[in-house]
């Protein structure tokens, strides 16, 4: 089978909802390439391109892609094989009313820094000897460790902006969503309707200023349907190969970590035959809670358990 | 100089306050050993020892230890060289009204699981080949990675239980507070008055059920005074050798991560000559926010920046 390439020019969305019209129908098990534009549609190209407000159309997600055979109650597995930056610069920025420290009077809102892509780490720094690609932040080399910020499926009912994360995925801004990770989504609608975009060349856990180094990417992924899953997730799950992680979004971090921990207990109880009490006690000993982002309309957290203690049931 | 050993029998506290009477006066730069009892004073020794409520006297912290020459405005550096478990079992437990999922009707509150210390990982699992010490949780070997849960200094004014974390340290329940890490505290009172206890043989980030595997330990540490620090921290800092981390406690996780990120900007701006805006943008690209614990009277978060991007100014 020829590998299909789906680009943002083929189709993109600014909302996830229950009814989504696919731009492509993938076979179950198909491997394809998805090309995305940066979260700001290429409008920020220099340090003096400033974002006076968050645009109404932000985080364009390429797709949706229907997956043949995916039905409500199934799980969609998105195996991310490679993420390549697809332009010569990223951009990290602040905007008024956005970001963790939006009320700090010593921080400029808006502000933009272009992060040029460099090869071989010429400007010195940690990645200098590796020959790997880096971005440059004011003379500091930062290795490119790309993150797919927005990735999700059609929702169970509500229609939400691609700026918002929830049980369908969406703007999860989770550093683990990168090459080598398989992301699992609950399927809410026929065909699942995967869409993704909003990538970063690098991003801190938390995404404090409101962005990473926003950049266009090309993603190689394989899409598979899991029917009759032994555990039915309510929210996205990750398998990074090193760890299994539950991912939950909510209005407060306290609510998000409670959901992520509760979801993890379901997996630990299933895998080990633990009571829910023993799963809870065990969850308090290994891995633990992690911050995805604290800046979107809902915040996102995860609960990680190292792979030596937990295998997913699919 | 003979290495002094200070034990919980020599003296321990259940509160950090502005006036603390030292059980020992250390020289600036002195290396000593501190022995601690488990957070529940040895009262939980079997699975049917249940904790019906959090005791009034919990988290006994051995000390306080005065450090000669430490004065308000200085920084106390506690270089943790080794942490050894000092009994044959730990205990992980729930108690009514305590823990992230205290309202989950399928979880028993109270519940206790004793975690026996084993050598060489005889019961199988990840640590089996390492010969390292492990604890056993219901047949699963978990490597011993000890954590000092409570560590702090005399406060600027308030008197708080050793169950509460704040700017003086206290119940930080931070997995990085272990061997190889240097913890830096702002000095609020003459002598600094270090006290520590509440160790765990293993703990997840988050400490979801309210405890790790609580255990007695012996800690080797060197205490040093830093006068006229180039940056004056308001809260504890960590240097794990891999990363520099700010640590902040507050009523909500949102407040805690805001404080931790703000503290990190001070360090990045000083080290790189960045504006506060550039420090903020850079903080959104590398390392990031981490969860220490979400179960104590205040929650604790940290902001990590890898050591290749940040050196502490002392």
Average pLDDT over residues B210-235: 98
Give the pLDDT confidence score for residue A124 in this predicted structure.
46
What residues contact B249, with CB distance under 8 A and at least 6 apart?
B164, B165, B166, B167, B170, B172, B235, B256, B296, B298, B299, B300, B301
Could you give the residue ranges of the DSSP H alpha helices within chain B?
A: 253-272, 276-283
Give the pLDDT confidence score for residue A127 in this predicted structure.
43
ipTM: 0.96
β-pairing verdict for A24-26 and A61-67: parallel
The reply to whether residue A140 touches residue B272, judged by beta carbons under 8 angstroms, is yes
The percent helix, strand, coil of chain A (3-state, each to 5) is 10, 40, 50
A284 touches chain B (CB under 8 A): yes
Q: How many of the other CB atoms lie within 10 Å of CB of B11?
A: 19
Q: Which helix (H) or strand (E) holds A272?
A: helix A253-272
Q: B138: which chain A residues are within 8 Å (Cβ-Cβ)? A: 272, 274, 278, 282
The percent helix, strand, coil of chain B (3-state, each to 5) is 10, 40, 50
**pLDDT tens, N- to C-terminus, chain A (314 residues):** 689 999 999 999 999 999 999 999 999 999 999 999 999 999 999 999 999 999 999 999 999 999 999 999 999 999 999 999 999 999 999 999 999 999 999 999 999 999 999 986 444 444 444 457 999 999 999 999 999 999 999 999 999 999 999 999 999 999 999 999 999 999 999 999 999 999 999 999 999 999 999 999 999 999 999 999 999 999 999 999 999 999 999 999 999 999 999 999 999 999 999 999 999 999 999 999 999 999 999 999 999 999 999 999 99
Give the pLDDT confidence score for residue A174 in this predicted structure.
98
Q: Nearest-CA distance from B111 to chain A in Å?
A: 8
Q: Model confidence at B314, in pLDDT bands (50, 70, 90)?
A: very high
What residues contact B17, with CB distance under 8 A and at least 6 apart?
B154, B155, B158, B159, B160
- Domains in chain A (CATH in brackets) are 4-228 (2.60.120.580)
Q: Which of A142, A286, A294 sits opposite B254 (nearest CB)?
A: A294
Q: Model confidence at B120, in pLDDT bands (50, 70, 90)?
A: low
Residues of A (40-69) whose Cβ lies below 8 Å from B: none
B211 touches chain A (CB under 8 A): yes
Average pLDDT over residues B192-200: 98
Q: Model confidence at B125, in pLDDT bands (50, 70, 90)?
A: very low
Residues of A (227-266) whose Cβ lies below 8 Å from B: 252-254, 257-258, 261-262, 265
A116 touches chain B (CB under 8 A): no
Q: Model confidence at B6, in pLDDT bands (50, 70, 90)?
A: very high
Q: A208: which chain B residues are within 8 Å (Cβ-Cβ)? A: 257, 261, 280, 283-284, 288-289, 303
Locate B279 and state its tokens. Answer: 């420090």
Phi, psi at A47, each rounded to 5°: -60, -25
Q: Model confidence at B132, in pLDDT bands (50, 70, 90)?
A: confident
Give the pLDDT confidence score for residue A119 in this predicted structure.
82
């Amino acid at each position: 089978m020829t590998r299909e390439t789906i680009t943002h020019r083929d189709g993109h969305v600014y909302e996830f909802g229950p009814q989504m019209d696919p731009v492509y129908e993938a076979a179950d098990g198909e491997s394809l390439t998805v090309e995305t534009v940066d979260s700001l549609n290429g409008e920020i190209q220099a340090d003096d391109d400033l974002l006076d407000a968050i645009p109404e159309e932000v985080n364009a997600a390429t797709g949706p892609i229907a997956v043949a055979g995916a039905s409500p109650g199934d799980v969609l597995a998105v195996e991310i094989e490679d993420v390549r930056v697809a332009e010569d610069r990223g951009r990290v920025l602040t905007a008024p009313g956005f970001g963790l420290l939006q009320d700090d009077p010593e921080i400029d809102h808006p502000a933009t820094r272009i992060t040029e892509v460099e090869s071989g780490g010429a400007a010195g720094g940690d990645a200098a000897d590796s020959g790997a690609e880096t971005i440059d932040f004011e003379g500091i080399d930062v290795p490119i460790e790309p993150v797919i910020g927005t990735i999700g499926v059609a929702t169970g009912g509500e229609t939400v902006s691609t700026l918002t994360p929830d049980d369908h995925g969406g703007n999860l801004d989770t550093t683990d969503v990168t090459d080598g990770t398989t992301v699992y989504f609950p399927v809410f609608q026929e065909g699942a309707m995967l869409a993704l975009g909003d990538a970063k060349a690098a991003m801190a856990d938390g995404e404090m200023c409101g962005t990473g180094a926003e950049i266009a990417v090309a993603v190689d992924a394989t899409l598979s349907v899991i029917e009759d899953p032994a555990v039915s997730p309510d929210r996205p799950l990750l398998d990074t190969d090193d760890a299994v992680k539950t991912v939950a979004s909510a209005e407060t971090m306290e609510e998000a970590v409670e959901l992520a921990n509760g979801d993890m207990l379901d997996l630990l109880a299933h895998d080990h035959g633990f009571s829910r009490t023993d799963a809870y006690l065990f969850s308090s000993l290994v891995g633990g809670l992690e911050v995805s982002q604290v800046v979107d309309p809902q915040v996102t957290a995860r609960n990680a358990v190292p792979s030596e203690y937990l295998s997913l049931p699919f």
